[in-house]
Amino acid sequence: MRLQWMSAAAMAVSLAVGSAGVFAQPALDESEKEIERYRAMINDPMANPGYLAVDRGEVLWAQKRGKKNVSLETCDLGMGAGKLEGAYARMPRYFKDADKVMDLEQRLLWCMQTVQELDTADVIARRFSGPGRASDMEDLVAFIGNKSNGMKIEPQTSHPKEKELTEIGEAMFYRRAGVMDFSCASCHGEEGKRIRLQGLPDFSKPGKAAQETMASWPTYRVSQSALRTMQHRLWDCFRQQRWPAPDYASEGLTALTMFLNKQAAGGEINVPSIKR
């Protein structure tokens, strides 16, 4: 992720203030308290626009489309055809019919193409919403993810391909590359890091930070006026690291999600959340 670099003069001032102990740590503490107060103010389900996406997703789930003119209600997300409760809490996971580990967005694309025989070119083109451009995927993920609210994240690692992809995701997390020689761990590899006033969760070890973060996606981003999925979050992280943009619903993003979910095991899902 992008870090804010200070000029030599600004850095000298910062060091001088820090060495004198004048308001350095208290200022950070107060900033964090204000951020938490802001989060508490906006974290009201009745005022969360993300729930509009949940409603739209419910309609899309039951809508008949594609050459077969059927809905997604027979799509198996791992709990049985059409069963949604708890499915999101156990994804990504291995699917025997596709012989592949898939996250929710990959699986939905597979069901659209296989169950509905829908041309998904337009769905992929609108994978991330924007002004005047709705996203079927964001809406469906909000609807399905919401069905796992109150449940715990349960990483799936019993199948050899699940284990393999989790290991690949861990390697990706620590892999440094790109013009800035960044890795995911550059920002999320230890406690106490931040970008400007924003604290960064530590994913290098299992625990509360990873649990709270992974259990809160998908989320409605106030700053973007849009609901965002984990696919978007990871895509945006790669963009800010100046890495090549990953393909949508690629195996690499699924692998990284597998590792992050492993670190977040036991986190209680509450989605869609709302963030700045």
**Does the active-site annotation cover 237?**
yes
If you write DSSP's letter for every residue of 54-96 in order, what string do you get? HHHHHHHHH--BTTTTB-GGG-BSSSSBT--TTTGGG-SEEET
The residue to which tokens 């409603």 are assigned: 55
Strands 273-275, 219-221: parallel, antiparallel or unpaired by DSSP?
A: parallel
Beta strands in the chain (DSSP E): 93-95, 100-102, 194-195, 198-199, 219-221, 226-228, 273-275
**What does the CA dihedral 11, 17, 18, 20 come to, rounded to 10 degrees?**
140
Helix (H, G, I), strand (E, B) or coil at 174: helix
Question: Choosing from 111, 184, 187, 237, which is the catalytic residue?
Answer: 237
Q: Residues with catalytic annotation?
A: 237
